[in-house]
Structure 1
């Protein structure tokens, strides 16, 4: 864990807590099952071990706390976990006690009961600051949980802690850096980042600091970090998962999801967190899966699937392009019908033409709506927020990503959501793009579109040099299709480039095709094992 500012040192779940945890570590080593074995387990295996009594929740939580202590906190560590939940071990012991009391009662546990998870530090969680990585919110402690956090807790899962992120979920070139959490590093190569903004969540799962972690994705912030850390990240159909209780960026595009180690784990978590929420209008009236998304993945096949390989996003990095070709060949050998297509050029420029202007219009009013609901003593609008931030960063001259600071200054003068350009984008442009892409996929009878999640490998850490980094194009263009249309996209590891750098590939389906996308990804994942 990295050092926090001095004025935070007395807060629960920060420096003092981590010192206490460090002194308690030897007592945790008594687990009957080796910690290395515990942290290697996927979610189905953990469920079986907990239900059989081969493993207790306290042993599981302790193994991960010890892993955080040894891998994340030291100098040169991943710096993925921003704060640990001081009540996690106590909650795990309470769950174990409940299990002992129910022995012989044929109790059936929820899939994630007794299993710890991490949440990106823009999710509200009672008793823990929700900083968004900003010093201005370093003492903001919510009184309620985000909808998906509460949903997991209600099912018996245990919040292990909060993960680092690009500050207020916007990277501005400093991927995975925040003033509160510092710089998150890629577990596979310390010269590279875990991308952004859900960098801490992806790095934590890749480094085995938790079985899974929650993240947010506005224009790529789950899928890009998952891609460069060899994990699985999914942006579900818009409205499947609630965003309530999360610091917003742009609610037209904001999505909540998980980063996991496998497609099966991804489906299990998505089953647990999806649901209608009166606090998020996008979830109302959604056609939801008729059966659990996790069922049937073990027998999913690519045979007969019609996969459209999108050629618009090639040319950024020769190794990434080669990995795409290899993946296509493997899918074809497995029986998939491969079709090569080029999308209309409008899909190459969605960030500057659509998502950027929408985000600029939405950030201030939506961020201020979140601030207005915070407890007493916290900034109530963007101007109050900036006054506090400037006092803590010497007007942006220290501690904060200068690009992020400049962006916030510009947001003070941003256009509002009653502007004609914004209204035209939302009422005409976005629905047209969604309809046209859906029609294109239906006409081609494509089960999914396929492309590299990023056109290049992981970005270099700010202030460091890596001559091996090659990126000849805007790496993130493909990732803008899903947030613009609301269609589901999943990224799965396709292999490793030079420098031990994971490379992910994406499958995108039509709205409501979440189950199909998961099945295709699961079948592809088996090809690469």
Structure 2
């Protein structure tokens, strides 16, 4: 007997624990499927020998825990001591950290088995996962391999959508767990970050190749909300989230998030809303008219100034010697990331940074706080991305796209429009499957909550998923 490709993480762990399957057979099947589907470019490296050795320990009773024997994947910007942490960029291709990131270590301590490290948008600076580094290549969406899987955690989402594994770790700065979840029909959590410290749900400082210490966080991704909730409970050390009935739950639906949508996305998302209302949810139709303008004052200033100090701090903390920020910038292979690192090395936004952190970001957070408070909301509900997955552009790494046949617009700004504000405010967000377009492309629906509301978001997500279902497997 082997574990089903549609089994949840908890079902796989239970089957191994009850000796209905062996951990070795489950892990070997995941590795073999990854090899068969290597055209997706979901992986930078497979960990066959290490994964099978760990699985044998599980079968021998030497490794136990809530995740014993569960195959998982890890985004290749998260530190691993037994494999390089390349962030998909040439200068770091062979860089190896001295110890695992804390979030990963908690999964390992619970018995999880890492089968490989996943591909990503180079240095996580983008949302297409069209990585033009020679050893990486563009990640392809399992539902349509001519299209992007989203990013920057595109490899993790592609591996999950393709049923190679049920779950794994990504990271999120402006949408990097949630955008790929939406575009591949999977689930992605951005946990609370708030202002750092006690607000932060996961603590991986200097153990993930950084963009921004203010905004970055590791985030669990899975085929189902239950898969994500299981990983979250292990990492956060909290009880497993339980479904929260939707009757009476108040969900804000600000017009700014629902404007300018691709017609097919809007049809799917509004049909999903109608089903939630039938289940008793209350949609609160109040706008946040100043939100996007305020977010623009914050986003790029933080993301393109903080790497100047954060990347050298990560190199030092990880014990990686002989590589500098200048070396990383000089080696970047993707043209869109070259542009970003030009702004970073020139510190193009340094003069505005202090004002952003002291005035503009708190003002953005105040908009959210007032919206939740004044409308007595449990969460904010909106389409994760305003359009389905666009076609891969292997020229720039990002490129342009069209919405509803309109003029070309930048892919990056278009696809993160709805995910970026909550990131800058430090809120938790959960993207889950809403339905399919007529072209069989997944559509994601996101719920954002106040800082610290992660458990409640997962509980609501479990109930929403029970109504809307999970995405069908891609035809691979």
Settle same-fold status: TM greater than 0.5. yes
For the structure 1 residues 363 and 309, does the alpha-carbon distance in structure 2 shift closer, same or farther, using more than 3 Å as the test? same
For the structure 1 residues 359 and 386, does the alpha-carbon distance in structure 2 shift closer, same or farther, using more than 3 Å as the test? closer
Matched with 2:474 is none
Matched with 2:236 is 274
Matched with 1:361 is 305
Per-residue Cα deviation, 1:479-518 (whole angstroms, up to 9, x for no partner): 1122121111101110011321100011111111112211
User: Which of 228, 248, 253 is 2:183 aligned to?
Assistant: 228
Per-residue Cα deviation, 1:10-43 (whole angstroms, up to 9, x for no partner): xxxxxxxxxxxxxxxxxxxxxxx14xx4332111
3-state secondary structure, aligned to 2:73: strand
Per-residue Cα deviation, 1:422-473 (whole angstroms, up to 9, x for no partner): 1121122212221331122111111111110001111210149999974757
3-state secondary structure, aligned to 2:129: coil
2:378 is aligned with 1:442: no
Displacement after TM superposition at 1:262 (Å): 0.9
For the structure 1 residues 512 and 367, does the alpha-carbon distance in structure 2 shift closer, same or farther, using more than 3 Å as the test? same
Maintained 8 Å contact 1:151/1:272: yes
2:161 is aligned with 1:206: yes
2:230 is aligned with 1:240: no
2:282 is aligned with 1:328: no
Maintained 8 Å contact 1:460/1:466: no
Maintained 8 Å contact 2:170/2:221: yes
User: Which of 204, 212, 216 is 1:254 aligned to?
Assistant: 216
Per-residue Cα deviation, 1:279-317 (whole angstroms, up to 9, x for no partner): xxxxxxxxxx5xx133x22xx321111111121122230
2:93 is aligned with 1:138: yes
3-state secondary structure, aligned to 1:177: coil
User: Which of 376, 383, 401 is 2:326 aligned to?
Assistant: 383
Matched with 1:348 is 292
Superposition pairs of residues 107-126 of structure 1, within 5 angstroms: 109-126=64-81
CA distance in structure 2 between the partners assigned to 1:142 and 1:355 by the alignment: 29
2:334 is aligned with 1:401: yes
User: Which of 510, 515, 518 is 2:455 aligned to?
Assistant: 515
CA distance in structure 1 between the partners assigned to 2:404 and 2:129 by the alignment: 17
2:404 is aligned with 1:460: no
Superposition pairs of residues 20-39 of structure 1, within 5 angstroms: 33-34=1-2, 37-39=3-5
Per-residue Cα deviation, 1:228-247 (whole angstroms, up to 9, x for no partner): 00001011111101223110
Per-residue Cα deviation, 1:210-239 (whole angstroms, up to 9, x for no partner): 121100100001000000000010111111
CA distance in structure 2 between the partners assigned to 1:212 and 1:354 by the alignment: 32
Displacement after TM superposition at 1:349 (Å): 3.7
3-state secondary structure, aligned to 2:170: strand
Matched with 1:4 is none
For the structure 1 residues 367 and 47, does the alpha-carbon distance in structure 2 shift closer, same or farther, using more than 3 Å as the test? same
Displacement after TM superposition at 1:81 (Å): 1.3
CA distance in structure 2 between the partners assigned to 1:437 and 1:468 by the alignment: 30
Maintained 8 Å contact 2:97/2:320: no
Q: Relative contact order (C-alpha < 8 Å, sep 6+): which is higher? A: 2
Gaps of 5+ in 2: 194-199, 470-476
TM superposition score normalised by structure 1: 0.81
3-state secondary structure, aligned to 1:247: coil
Maintained 8 Å contact 1:133/1:164: yes
3-state secondary structure, aligned to 1:98: coil
Matched with 2:473 is none
Maintained 8 Å contact 1:194/1:203: yes
CA distance in structure 2 between the partners assigned to 1:471 and 1:55 by the alignment: 50
Superposition pairs of residues 63-82 of structure 1, within 5 angstroms: 63-71=29-37, 73=38, 77-82=39-44
3-state secondary structure, aligned to 1:39: coil
Maintained 8 Å contact 1:130/1:140: yes
2:254 is aligned with 1:310: yes
Please give the root-mean-square deviation of Cα atoms over the aligned residues, in Å: 2.2
Gaps of 5+ in 1: 1-32, 103-108, 276-288, 390-395
CA distance in structure 2 between the partners assigned to 1:351 and 1:221 by the alignment: 17
User: Which of 220, 240, 263 is 2:225 aligned to?
Assistant: 263
3-state secondary structure, aligned to 2:430: strand
Larger Rg: 1
CA distance in structure 2 between the partners assigned to 1:471 and 1:352 by the alignment: 26
Aligned length: 450
For the structure 1 residues 468 and 411, does the alpha-carbon distance in structure 2 shift closer, same or farther, using more than 3 Å as the test? closer
CA distance in structure 2 between the partners assigned to 1:320 and 1:495 by the alignment: 9
Matched with 1:525 is 465
2:354 is aligned with 1:423: yes
Maintained 8 Å contact 1:222/1:234: yes
